[in-house]
Amino acid sequence: MSGTFKTIMRRVAILFGGAIIAALAAPAGLTGRIDTALAQSDGGTAMQSASRDFAFACAPCHGRTGKGDGPVASELKVSPPDLTAIARRAGGRFPADKVYARIEGLTMPDAHGTREMPIWGAVFLFEELGGSVLTKDAKPATEQTRRRLQHLVDYLRSIQD
């Protein structure tokens, strides 16, 4: 296992632990704009899945409402940004492609150094593959991961101020 992968998985384990802490410390369900976004989605299935991914993968650092105040945030070198202000910081337009690339994490050049945020594209793909290394499993897992990441981007769009 490469050193980079070990580092990523160690960070993922820290965040997953943070997700458990957040889930135990938070009341059941999400509130405010997040509930509204779920109610307004097309049947809610994709948005509910994205909400669960957000609660599990993002909320430990970014907080339940995305404001950057999650239970793990104080442990990070750089404070997590307020995810409800992405569009505002981008001049009023939500940069979906950039958000997708940031979450996926595969476009970060090594020359820019390491990042504290896990490479969720790799983590989600690993989950989808379930340990398989068969080529026949890779294509459907990749497509499912792409959809999962896109739903998470749509979710983030829905919580913008």
Report field, pTM of the whole predicted structure over 0.85 = no
Q: CA–CA separation, 64 vs 31, rounded Å?
A: 9
Q: Residues 133, 47, 51, 67: is their CA dihedral positive or negative?
A: positive
| Domain span holding position 128 | 3-158
CA 38 to chain centre: 17
According to the model, what pLDDT value does residue 118 have? 87
Measured CA to CA, the distance from residue 84 to residue 59 in angstroms comes to 12
State the total domains in the chain. 1
pLDDT tens for 86-132 read: 999 999 999 999 999 999 987 765 655 667 888 899 889 988 888 88
